[in-house]
Every structure is written in structure tokens, then in C-alpha cells.
């Protein structure tokens, strides 16, 4: 399907819509690398099966790891080799998965005599790798680039990581660069220092926590991280993947437009930094929450019509699109700051959101800077849309988060006639992290 008209719906005031979201992509792909670093069999439950995680599974299998993946049961069993990589050479394709690209590249550096060719999609070939590759060169890796230097595709030759090495890394473009090095650090007692700052710091906290959960040790130090080189625990291990907080963000913002949305399994205790998005929504009155052991109920917040807000999304940048798409229904003027690094993700997300939101609210109500996006919602959005040529077709730039954000906005019955007013182009790009998103959305609107 190349385009999808989104059928809008108005939730009944006395009806709670219950939904489940997939397991976290960020946790699933970290867990697979950590499982491969352990010695013994690790069983991952509630694992996400999507383009990104399937790419990681396929790459680990090509590297000689025994993996039993059951998509129906949502489980993955991995037999780890205690930091050893069975295959001395392989050709690996990571598709569009940034986590697989960064995590696998650092992981391969552990091989004492390896030669590995890595490539990805056209989108992945444009995503930042240089900070990681520069650091790995200091650890003895050598790279032969088959295109632009510092980017996929390349062949890496490895000599094993010397124990106790101190390295400096530039992770300003992506926290995944630093997370990749952190996960191999316990195998070789690496001392990692940062040159400058990094972004999305909650993901580093997630990495630190997961390293500990898998039996490794790493600690923050002045300007970086240190590990004792004790490796990871051994033996059989069960690990449960949390529901994806970023995926839940699309459903949380739906409550801004009315209704009661209950996300099963989304609880207060979480290792995902993107749960801070829900704190932000409640703090600024976009929504109200009722949290229980079973999940979180999202309810409409206060009227924000005429309000002006400035919000910092640097630490939770994957969720900025979820809110940006819903600003038009709030009647508020919202500036989202700290998002310059998202220009280097699956798409230039700042420019993409500015371009597509302009189709809905008018270009005069959008201000784009290098590090921010301001959306001024029309005070009469229904009247604005009534003058537009409908349905409005939104381009998604092969970016799953753009597709899901606007897909959710399209589900709001802004014209009160239950007719599609928004069309999402290339909805299939959601397969990257949430393959059945639009099926779940359709069920939300079913009576």
C-alpha cells in the first residue's frame, strides 16, 4: 500500500480504549548484543519483531550465533559465547537500523582476527558513524570505505581490543555511538571519555542499567565511563522486554483530543528515558494520567488555547514528533527545542515535520531553526481545514515516527463527519518498529 486514508473517530466519553504496544526496540537490540556477550542461553520475552530487530537477529546468525526466534510467542533465545565471535568473517546488512549499525560495529571489534563487510539502506548510508569509527581505530580496527569515508558501506579488519585501553569518543551526533562502546567495555576494562557532549542521555542510563542486569559492571566517571573488565555473567538467563515507551507516546497524545486511552503494561517503573515524555505532557496540562500496576490511563488535560510554551526535548527527542503532530488541535503556540541532532536520523525530522505541519496549519504558523520547531496552532483549526483541499496528503520520508505521528493526528475527527481528511503516504515504513500500528489504530476507532 502506497498511501492510506486515515478514518477519524471520536471516542465515547464513557468508553476506555485499551491498547498494547510492542516491546521496546531500544531494549530488544541492546539485549541481543548483551546476550551474545554472555556465556550461556538468554531467553528474551516480549521481544519486538520489526525490521530493526530482524536485522539484528540476521546479523548475529551470520556471525555464527545460535538464535531461536519465535515471533508468535515474542521470544528470542540466544546462545552467547562469552565475548567470542564464532565467524571470523561475514557480510552484514543492517537495513535502516541505527542500533544494529552502531552496536554490531563495536561488538565486532572484539574479534582478534576478523574481517567484516557492513552495509545498510540508502538512509543508513547517510547516518553518522564517524565518531564510533574514529574511536575503534584507536582500538586497532582498520576500515576500508566503499563509498564516502566515515559512512556505510565499509569493511572492517579487527585485531581484538587491548585490555585497559583509554579512548576518547565524539558521541555528539548519537548516543548510540557511546552505548555501543559501553556494552563492550566490561569485556576489556575500557576507559571511555567524551570529547564534548552527547544527546539523548537517558539512553545512556538505559545502557548502564542493562549492562548491570546482564551481570557486567560499568560506572560513570569524570567525563566518561570506566569498567573493571570482569565481563558478563554466565549461565541461563531470562530477561523481559518492557513495552516501548516511544510507541506509547503516539497513543498518549491522542487523549489531548478527547477520550480515555489505556496503555497496558506502561507502568511507573521503567528503564526507558522516553517515559519522561509522559511527565512532560502532564506537567504542561496536555493530558492527565492514572497509573496502576496494569498500565497507564491517559485522559484529556486542560484547555491550552492561547497558551505559549517552550519545551526542551533534547533528552527525549524520539518523542518530539508525537507532540508536534498534535499541537494543531491544542490552540497553543509550542516551541520544541534541543532537536538539532534529529536532522541526522531516519530523515531530517525537524524539516520534515515543519514541511508537513505547514500543510495543515499554514506555513505562516511554522518557524524552523537549526535546533527548534515552533508550531502556532490556528484558533479555529476546523475552519482552516474547511478551506483546504482535502484530504491532505502527508509525506513520511521513509520515517516510521513521522508516519505514526500523523497517522494518529488523522484519527481525530476535526471536521465532525467521520470522513478521512488526512492521507499518510508510505504507511509501510512503520515496519521498522511497529509493523501493525495502523491495524491497532483502526481497532481503536472500531465501535
* Rounded (10°) CA dihedral 167, 135, 179, 433: 180
Instruction: For helices 25-37 and 201-213, give the axis angle rounded to 10 degrees.
Output: 40
How far apart are alpha carbons 352 and 225 in whole angstroms?
35
The pLDDT, as a whole number, for residue 447 is 63
Radius of gyration over every alpha carbon of the chain, rounded to an integer in angstroms: 22
Sheet of strand 237-240, all strands in order from the earlier edge strand to the far edge: 67-70, 75-81, 39-45, 237-240
> What's the rounded Cα separation, in Å, for the pair 48 and 402?
20
Nearest residue to 181 (alpha-carbon basis) of 28, 33, 393, 330: 33
Say what the pLDDT of residue 382 is: 93
Could you check whether 3-22+243-445 and 25-228 share the same CATH topology?
yes
Alpha-carbon distances, residue 397 vs 349, 378, 403 (angstroms): 9, 25, 9
pLDDT (tens, 9 = 90+) of the chain, 447 residues, equals 699 999 999 988 779 999 999 999 999 999 999 999 999 999 999 999 999 999 999 999 999 999 999 999 999 999 999 999 999 999 999 999 999 999 999 999 999 999 999 999 999 999 999 999 999 999 999 999 999 999 999 999 999 999 999 999 999 999 999 999 999 999 999 999 999 888 889 999 999 999 999 999 999 987 899 999 999 999 999 999 999 999 999 999 999 999 999 999 999 899 999 999 999 999 999 999 999 999 999 999 999 999 999 999 999 999 999 999 999 999 999 999 999 999 999 999 999 999 999 999 999 999 999 999 999 999 999 999 999 999 999 999 999 999 999 999 999 999 999 999 999 999 999 999 999 999 999 999 986
C-alpha neighbours within 13 Å on the C-beta side of residue 216 = 32
- 3-state secondary structure (DSSP) of residue 17: strand
Please tell me the predicted confidence (pLDDT) of residue 13.
Answer: 76
Structure confidence by residue, pLDDT tens digits, 127-185: 999 999 999 999 999 999 999 999 999 999 999 999 999 999 999 999 999 999 999 99
| pLDDT in the model for residue 280 | 98
The topology (CATH level 3) of 3-22+243-445 is UDP-n-acetylglucosamine1-carboxyvinyl-transferase; Chain (3.65.10)
Q: Looking at the structure, give the CATH architecture of the domain made up of residues 25-228.
A: Alpha-beta prism (3.65)
Q: What is the pTM of this model?
A: 0.94
Instruction: Residue 276: count other Cβ atoms within 10 Å of its Cβ.
Output: 17
How far is it, in rounded angstroms, from Cα 301 to Cα 78? 44
Active site amino acids: 318
Which three cell numbers, joined as nine digits, stand for 182? 559501553
For the chain, what are the domain ranges?
3-22+243-445, 25-228
Beta strands in 134-236 (DSSP E): 142-145, 154-158, 166-169, 191-194, 219-221, 224-226
Amino acid at each position: 500500500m502506497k498511501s492510506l486514508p486515515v478514518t477519524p473517530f471520536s471516542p465515547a466519553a464513557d468508553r476506555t480504549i485499551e491498547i498494547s504496544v510492542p516491546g521496546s526496540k531500544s531494549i530488544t537490540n541492546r539485549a541481543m548484543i548483551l546476550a551474545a556477550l554472555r556465556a550461556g542461553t538468554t531467553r528474551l520475552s516480549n521481544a519486538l519483531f520489526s525490521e530493526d530487530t530482524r536485522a539484528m537477529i540476521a546479523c548475529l546468525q551470520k556471525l555464527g550465533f545460535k538464535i531461536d526466534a519465535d515471533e508468535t510467542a515474542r521470544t528470542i533465545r540466544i546462545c552467547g559465547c562469552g565475548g567470542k565471535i564464532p565467524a571470523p568473517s561475514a557480510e552484514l546488512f543492517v537495513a535502516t537500523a541505527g542500533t544494529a549499525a552502531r552496536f554490531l560495529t563495536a561488538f565486532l571489534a572484539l574479534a582478534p582476527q576478523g574481517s567484516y563487510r557492513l552495509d545498510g539502506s540508502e538512509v543508513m548510508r547517510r547516518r553518522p558513524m564517524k565518531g564510533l569509527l574514529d574511536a575503534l581505530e584507536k582500538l586497532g580496527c582498520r576500515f576500508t570505505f566503499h563509498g564516502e569515508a566515515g559512512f556505510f558501506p565499509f569493511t572492517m579488519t579487527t585485531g581484538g581490543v587491548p585490555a585497559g585501553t583509554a579512548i576518547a569518543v565524539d558521541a555528539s551526533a548519537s548516543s548510540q555511538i557511546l552505548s555501543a562502546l559501553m556494552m563492550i567495555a566490561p569485556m576489556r576494562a575500557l576507559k571511555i571519555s567524551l570529547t564534548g557532549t552527547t544527546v539523548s542521555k537517558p539512553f545512556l542510563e538505559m545502557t548502564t542499567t542493562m549492562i548491570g542486569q546482564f551481570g557486567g559492571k560499568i560506572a560513570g566517571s569524570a567525563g566518561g565511563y570506566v569498567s573493571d573488565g570482569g565481563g558478563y555473567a554466565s549461565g541461563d538467563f531470562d530477561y523481559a522486554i518492557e513495552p516501548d515507551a516511544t510507541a506509547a507516546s503516539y497513543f498518549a497524545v491522542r487523549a489531548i483530543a478527547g477520550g480515555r486511552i489505556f496503555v497496558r503494561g506502561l507502568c511507573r517503573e521503567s528503564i526507558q528515558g522516553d517515559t519522561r515524555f509522559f511527565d512532560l505532557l502532564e506537567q504542561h496540562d496536555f493530558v492527565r494520567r492514572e497509573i496502576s500496576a496494569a498500565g497507564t490511563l491517559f485522559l484529556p488535560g486542560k484547555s491550552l488555547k492561547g497558551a505559549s510554551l517552550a519545551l526542551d526535548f533534547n533528552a527525549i527527542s524520539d518523542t518530539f514528533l508525537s507532540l508536534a503532530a498534535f499541537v494543531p488541535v491544542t490552540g497553543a503556540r509550542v516551541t520544541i527545542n534541543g532537536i538539532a541532532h534529529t536532522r541526522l536520523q531516519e530523515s531530517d525530522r525537524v524539516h520534515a515535520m515543519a514541511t508537513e505541519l505547514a500543510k495543515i496549519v499554514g506555513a505562516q504558523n511554522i518557524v524552523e531553526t537549526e535546533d527548534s520547531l515552533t508550531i502556532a496552532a490556528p484558533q479555529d483549526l476546523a475552519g482552516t481545514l474547511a478551506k483546504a483541499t482535502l484530504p491532505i496528503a502527508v509525506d513520511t520520508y521513509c520515517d516510521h515516527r513521522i508516519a505514526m505521528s500523523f497517522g494518529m493526528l488523522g484519527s481525530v475527527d476535526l471536521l465532525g463527519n467521520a470522513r478521512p481528511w488526512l492521507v499518510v503516504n508510505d504507511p509501510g515504513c512503520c515496519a521498522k518498529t511497529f509493523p501493525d500500528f495502523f491495524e491497532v489504530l483502526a481497532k481503536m476507532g472500531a465501535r
